[in-house]
Structure 1
Amino acid sequence: MSRISETTIPNPPTGGFIDRLLSSPQYGERWGRHWLDLARYADTQGGSVDCPIPAARLYRDYVIDAFTADKPYDEFIREQIAGDLMAAEGPDGRFRERVIATGFLGLSIRNGIFKHYHPELIIEDTIDTIGRSILGLTIRCSRCHDHKVEPISTADYYRLYGIFASSGYPFSGSELPGFSAGESVLLVTPAQWAALPIGHRRGIEGLRATIARTLANHPAQKDLERKRKRLAGDVRRYHQLRGRGDFDVVLRTSIDDQDIRIREEISKLDNSVRKLWYDLKGTERLAGLERAYAMREASARDVHVQVGGDPFDPGPLVRRGVPEILARDQQLEIPAGQSGRLQLARWLTSPDNPLTPRVAVNYIWQFHFGKGIVSTSDDFGLGGNPPPIRNCWTGWPGSSSTTTGLSSTCTG
């Protein structure tokens, strides 16, 4: 403060002084904190168990570095939605940061110590975060029913849901013996992999193959999904036959009994894989390799609407895409075999999408002055507060309906 006072009294700050402040590491740390809040960043996975995520720090550092370097906002968003896919296109010098950037999605909340426990809640958190932080919309309200306020249908929600159901999420794992080991992404380009000593490559490939065979052949892996579906069916049948009178007590007993049996089977599988997994990570460390809590592609598929938000009560099949009200009759064209994240990332930052730059400018205004131009910064919809002046965006930064070159240090 004394340096600022000396500079500003009696003269206003010079451009050089302001530029030094904007280019300082402390600027990146302060503004990175704001984005990390929107991205619900934490060093643990959340939920009831809240296991630590050691690699989460890489995403935190990516965000700070992005603000320090004044990375263009459109690029910043695209990397966080589909950085792993952009990394595959090159150049190799951007590979690491782009993969790490997808920690924005990977940090979605987990709800237990098993990797595949309640994926519908993980994806719900992803959709809600993208909706509020990038689009300024409360999309998650459409998971169980058509939105009560906005023109967003349940089918719209599951268009987005399919994109993330076709993506592979990382998992922090549990430190408790007998529970799921972690899963993350190796930060190595094809060229770097080819340059590794052949002994390291063979050791890593051999352990990967052994883990894959163990997972594929273990009865627990094959039976788990069938048992979960049967459990859900038993619960619904009991509810329909007996009504609500003493439903909670009997349901809790049924789930507890089933959970014990399912947990025992998964524990057998995880115990057999855990040592292999630790051997694999040890071999990778010897090779100087690093892992990120990041996203990857999975089996691409469209999904059914989950009636009432129940994953075991499928409704109509919907194609992956974006809400119809925002698509403007130009839905995403997702090639076969792709999740759609890359297409979503491009759409979010395209000139055809005016919400992204306006929401960004509004957050920048809020963090500078304490209140956004639109006071409900995460809700630009009918349920939020309108701007104080009609058509106030005309002539404002972001009114050009593009994120290209949009900067947090100079929005004009």
Structure 2
Amino acid sequence: MASDGVQELQGGQDISMPSHFRSTLALLLIAPCCAIGGDPADRPWSLRPVVRPPIPVVNTHGWARNPIDAFVWQRLAAVRLAPSAAANHRTLVRRAWFDLLGLPPGHLLPDDDILAGPGRWAAQVDRLLANPHYGERWGRHWLDVARYADTKGYVFFEDRVFPWAWTYRDYVITAFNNDLPYNRFVVEQLAADQLDLDDQPQSRAAMGFLTLSPRFMNNLHDQIDDQIDVVTRGLMGLTVTCARCHDHKYDPIPQADYYSLYGVLRSSSEPMVPPELQRPSKSEAHRKFRAELDKRSQAIRAFIIKTHTDMLAASRKRAGEYLLQAQRTLAQPPTDNFMLLVEAGGLNPTVVLRWRVFLERLVTRTAVEEFRDPVWGPWLAMADLDEAEQTSFPEGISQLLKRLSRNDADQSPINTRILAALNSKPPQSLDEASIRYGRILNDIEAEWQSTRKAATDAEKPPPSRFQDPTREQLRLVFHAPDAPANVPRLFGWGALALLPDRPAQAVYKKLRKELEQWLIKGKGAPPRAMTLAENDTPYRPRIFERGNPNRLGEPVPRQLPGALSGPGRTPFRTGSGRLELARAIASPDNPLTARVIVNRVWLHHFGEGLVRTTSDFGTRGTPPTHPELLDFLAHWFVHDAGWSIKALHRLIMTSATYCQRSDHRPRAFSTDPENLLLWRMPRRRLAFEAMRDAQLMFADSLDNRFGGPAVTGMFTAGGVTTRRSIYGHIDRMNPPALLRTFDVPSPQASCGRRDETTVSPQALHMMNHGTLHELSRRLAIRTSGSPAQRIRLLFEIVYSRHPSPEESAAILKFLKGFDGEKPAAWTAVAHTLLMSNEAQFID
């Protein structure tokens, strides 16, 4: 290979292309596979097991430095291309600083050949990986995936701000700095509440990955949908949320799998009092803080328990009224809006809705299975009679009761107590029938409570059911796990479902506000983790037909999607199953997790991933440009590197592929215009945060303090805020215009790859914003000496190089236009350097 690296291979080896490719550059999209079979070869490429491919045996003419280069050379040689020559020392070091730290070197770098000493470059990479700014740079990349924000978006009663969002951000930065194994990083973010973290209480903050979800006007279903999305798309590149309303149209993800995951996440909730992020202090001040906290939390807990107990008693006592109201609403559009308000003493909309869903399931089962429910068969028949136009209710009730009394061989017999109550004096309307049902159910409830009390008084274990099937059928109306009147007790904002009247809501909101204010602002209040806690009873998921939570379909178990586990999967056994889910995602046997994270790391080094659709590894995404290299890196990452992100950086950055120059080469460009085969290092524009932080560093104004609460006004204030950009306050509902201008993604959803636009507001900001003028002034006053010396120092700070004679001459000519070299002239020079492409791009 020629020394300048541009001579292409003339007699290259005859290397056959992988079967994934139609041609050397265009990849053949793999046909959708909507069923998972036993043969891995029948699966889409991303769902096949990760198998370590052999390193290609190719003659790279001494170019290759590690296995990555062999895979890249193989693909280049197949189209008679050669890689570019190695970049010089200054270019490589500046590239590495921005890639790993998001900051410039800020001083002169020599242009000597970094490859002259084999160990020098690796040592430089190791020094940068040990720098604490590394976690800030790579933590910001992860926060895009985690859709991090400091506010909740649209809410009803809650405060808009997450008081402890910053603890998750700091956790992520620390995890990257400490090189926490990625599999452990995944498990902590999904199930830290179920791990033994007494020695690492700060890791409890990891669950912000789930709890920093947008609130969607307190719509629980949308919140869980967002959590499913960030778990499956963020960690595994699977678009599972496409199966919320129907089976996935392209990938092997049935709707049942979506609701299996829904059940896992619905089985946990955010505790009213989140855990502390430090070991409890034994000081008197902390004891007083805890005493007041216990007092306030007990007050709200007692209120909810009493309200829930009263509501259960009322919903059972008024079962007939709820039954009738639910029947009347069947023809109306459904709603799950628990914010509906009623007058004190009115029927609770949440209970009405549960009765409605219960009746809808009965109607569907009766129509589909020709099933007659022993308890509710008469009610459904009377409801049909009530709606009939040809026959009035009083006229038809006698014939209906005679028909119901016949024990047809192909129908279930009607409950004898129901029949007796209806036959004793036939009801003359559906209203009257509902009263009969309510009376029967409450009579059975009284018998049940009396039976249990008698057993307790006799010091015997209380029974769990009636032995008489007739009584047991009626008892289950109130006591089955999904009984309409058996509303679960909730302690979060979901408790408002128990409180449909304004006075009760006002009391609850007052108690919650007092508790939250003390948690945040009480004297001695410690930082807390935004975590989840297991519910007392795991949620039993059912499919929502067409995604409608008011139309419940078949029950499904809480389990891993079949695409990841195959036909032999078993339901999760422990609690919600969240810890089992986390471990399954972080398992070496998971075909997606390692591939996805390896691809994300590659993206942030090369500007594009080996898979361009970084959060979609399904059949609608793009297949990898280097499939064998991707699998080699994924397997090496798990089995050789022990899930170490820093080890992966080191392997990538010490490759000759990474060390290439970024020069344009016409012939290579004509063959591979998108640089899919990596014949050169792509030239990349700095992300907004790196650009802003570099400007602060150039001006000697960067505040290097680590962590802490978000800095408000960083992206909107007129003055200069000097903390690193990762510590700026992110308002989910109203992100600053500056961030939108420079392609910072919306925190409304997980983002694996930022858009990159070139629009006029970007240039206008660089030219006109007061912050840039102030930083330019500060940069200018860092220099001293003769004009030539000052120019030289400016170039060393901003570009890490000396100016060329032409550049120096142009600046000196410009300065002559200012009388006496006024400070404004030097500010203009510094401003010009900050605005230049060389300052905003990585070669």
| Pair 1:315–1:404, CA change in 2 (3 A) | farther
Per the TM alignment, residue 303 of structure 1 is displaced from its structure 2 partner at its CA by: 1.0
Shift of 1:73: 0.8
Structure 1 position 46 matched with structure 2 position 148: no
In 2, Cα distance between equivalents of 1:356 and 1:404: 15
| Alignment equivalent of 1:208, drawn from 297, 313, 320 | 297
* SS of equivalent residue, structure 1 residue 65: helix
Contact 1:231–1:255 (Cα < 8 Å) also in 2: no
Residue equivalent to 1:62: 171
Does the 8 Å CA contact 1:31/1:67 hold for their aligned counterparts?
yes
1:396 aligns with 2:490: no
Q: Cα–Cα, structure 1 residues 343 and 66, in superposed 2: closer, same or farther, change >3 Å?
A: same
Whether the aligned pair in 2 keeps the contact of 1:211 and 1:276 (CA below 8 Å) is no
How many residue pairs match? The answer is 375
Match for residue 275 of structure 2?
186
2:186 maps to 1:97: no
Residue of structure 1 in register with 2:800 after alignment: none
For 2:640 and 2:303, the matched residues in 1 are separated by 47
Distance in 2 (CA, whole Å) between partners of 1:358 and 1:123 is 25
Offset of 1:143 from its aligned partner? 0.8
Deviations 1:363-384 (A, max 9, x none): 1111111111011111111111
**Which runs of structure 2 are paired with 1:2-401 in the superposition (5 Å)?**
3=105, 6-7=108-109, 9-12=111-114, 14-47=121-154, 51-86=160-195, 89-90=196-197, 92-94=198-200, 96-112=201-217, 117-169=218-270, 183-187=272-276, 192=280, 201-218=290-307, 222=311, 237-239=331-333, 258=340, 262=500, 264=502, 267-274=505-512, 276-277=514-515, 280-281=518-519, 285-286=522-523, 288-299=525-536, 300-331=538-569, 334-336=572-574, 338-398=575-635
Q: Against the structure 1 CA distance between its residues 8 and 147, is the aligned structure 2 distance closer, same or farther, given a 3 Å change threshold?
A: farther
Deviation at 1:192, TM superposition (A): 3.4
Cα 1:401–1:266 shift into 2, 3 Å: farther
Alpha-carbon shift at residue 205 of structure 1 (Å): 3.0
What residue number does 2:359 align with?
A: none
Stretch deviating more after TM superposition (57-66 or 262-271)? 262-271
State whether residues 610 and 626 of structure 2, in contact with CA within 8 Å, keep that contact through their aligned partners in structure 1: no
Q: CA deviation at 1:47?
A: 3.2
Contact 2:637 2:643 in 1 (8 A): no
Equivalent position amino acid for 2:297 in 1? R
SS in 1 for 2:582: helix
Q: Could you tell me which amino acid in structure 2 is paired with residue 289 of structure 1?
A: P
Q: Which residue of 1 aligns with 2:412?
A: none
Give me the whole-angstrom Cα distance separating, in 2, the residues matched to 1:215 and 1:222: 10
In structure 1, the residue matched to 2:698 is: none
Residue 5 to residue 276, structure 1, CA distance change in 2 (3 Å): closer
Contact 1:142 1:157 (C-alpha < 8 Å) held by counterparts = yes
The answer on whether the counterparts of 1:185 and 1:292 sit within 8 Å (CA) in structure 2 is yes
> Structure 1 pair 148/62, CA: closer, same or farther in 2 (3 Å)?
same
C-alpha distance in structure 2 between counterparts of 1:403 and 1:273, whole Å: 53
In 2 relative to 1, CA 407–70 (structure 1 residues): closer, same or farther, beyond 3 Å?
A: same
Instruction: Name the SS for the 1:98 alignment partner.
Output: helix
Structure 2 residue identity aligned to 1:23: A
Return closer, same or farther for 1:263/1:370 CA change in 2, 3 Å cut-off: farther
Letter of the 1:118 counterpart: N
Question: Would the alpha carbon gap of residues 238 and 203 (structure 1) be closer, same or farther in structure 2, given more than 3 Å must change?
Answer: closer
How far 1:28 moved relative to its partner?
1.2
Work out whether residues 233 and 239 of structure 2, in 8 Å CA contact, stay in contact via their aligned partners in 1: yes
Deviations 1:324-381 (A, max 9, x none): 1211245355335x11111111111112102100000001111111111011111111
Note closer, same or farther for the CA distance 1:266–1:57 as it changes in structure 2 (3 Å cut).
farther
* Separation of aligned partners in 1, 2:323 and 2:224: 19
Question: What SS does the aligned partner of 1:14 have?
Answer: helix
Q: Distance in 2 between matches of 1:303 and 1:277?
A: 32
Could you say if the C-alpha distance between residues 212 and 9 of structure 1 is closer, same or farther in structure 2, counting changes exceeding 3 Å?
Answer: same
Change (3 A) 1:106 1:3: closer
Q: 1:258 to 1:14 in 2, by over 3 A?
A: closer
**CA contact under 8 A between 1:162 and 1:302: conserved in structure 2?**
yes
Distance apart, 1:258 and its partner CA: 3.5
Which one has the largest radius of gyration?
2
What amino acid maps onto 1:214 in structure 2? F
CA contact (8 A) 1:39 1:104 kept: yes
> C-alpha displacement at 1:71, in angstroms?
1.5
Q: Using structure 2 for the length normalisation, give the TM-score.
A: 0.40
C-alpha contact 2:204 2:277 (8 A) present in aligned 1: no
Q: 1:256 to 1:105 in 2, by over 3 A?
A: closer
Residue identity matched to 1:319: P
Distance (Å, rounded) in 2 between the aligned partners of 1:321 and 1:346: 12
Shift of 1:43: 0.4
Question: Could you tell me how far 1:392 is from its partner in structure 2?
Answer: 4.5
Q: Which amino acid aligns with 1:36?
A: L
Please tell me whether the aligned partners of residues 74 and 404 of structure 1 are also in contact (alpha carbons under 8 angstroms): no
Higher mean displacement: 209-218 or 367-376: 209-218
Question: Which sections of structure 1, spanning at least 5 residues, go unmatched?
Answer: 171-182, 241-250
Verify the 8 A CA contact 2:613 2:621 in the aligned structure 1: yes
Please, what is the CA RMSD of the aligned residues?
Answer: 3.6
- Alpha carbons of structure 1 residues 354 and 268: separation in structure 2 relative to 1, 3 Å: same
Letter in 2 for 1:10: D
Deviation at 1:54, TM superposition (A): 2.1
